[in-house]
Homo-oligomer: A and B are copies of this chain.
Amino acid sequence: MAEPFADRLIQRTRALGHPLCVGFDPHLALLPPLFRRGSMAPGDKQTADAVAEFCLAVLDRIAGRAACIKPQSAFFEALGWRGIEVLDQLMRAARERDLLVILDAKRGDIGSTAEGYAAAYLSADAPLRADALTVSPYLGGDSLEPFLAAAEKSGAGLFVLVKTSNPGSGDLQDREALGQPIHAHVAAQLAAGAPRLAGPATGWSGVGAVVGATYPEEARKARERMPSNLFLVPGFGAQGAGAEAAVTAFSAGPDGMLEGGVVSSSRGILFPDDADVSRADAWGKAIDQALADACESLERAVKKRGRS
A contact residues vs B (CB 8 Å cutoff): 25, 27, 41-43, 72, 74-75, 77-85, 87-88, 106-114, 116-117, 119-121, 125-128, 136-143, 161, 164-173, 175-178, 182, 185-186, 189
Give me 6 A-to-B residue pairs in the complex whose CB atoms sit less than 8 angstroms apart, sorted by A's number: A27-B116, A79-B127, A80-B127, A106-B136, A110-B168, A139-B169
Quick one: closest B residue to A176, CB to CB?
Answer: B177
Compute how far the CA of A117 lies from the CA of B186 in the bound complex, rounded to whole angstroms.
25
Do B166 and A143 touch (CB < 8 A)? yes
CB pair B178–A161 under 8 Å, yes or no, is: no
Q: How far is the CB of A217 from chain B (nearest CB, A)?
A: 18
A126, A127, A138, A182, most chain B CB atoms within 10 A: A138
**Is B164 in contact with A77, judged by CB distance below 8 angstroms?**
no
Assess the B74–A109 pair: CB atoms within 8 A: yes
Contact B165 A120 (CB under 8 A): no
Q: Which 5 residue pairs across A and B have the least CB separation, nearest first?
A: A80-B127, A140-B168, A142-B168, A74-B116, A43-B127
Contacts of A81 in B (CB 8 A): 81-82, 84-85, 87-88, 127-128
User: Of B116, B139, B164, B173, which contacts A161 at CB under 8 A?
Assistant: B139
Bound-state CA distance A61–B175 (Å) is 47
> Chain B residues with Cβ under 8 A from A185's Cβ?
171-172, 175
Q: A75-B116, A113-B74 are in contact. Are A175 and B172 (CB under 8 A)?
A: no
Contact of A117 among B74, B80, B168, B172 (CB under 8 A): B74
CB-CB under 8 A from A128, the residues of chain B are: 77, 80-81
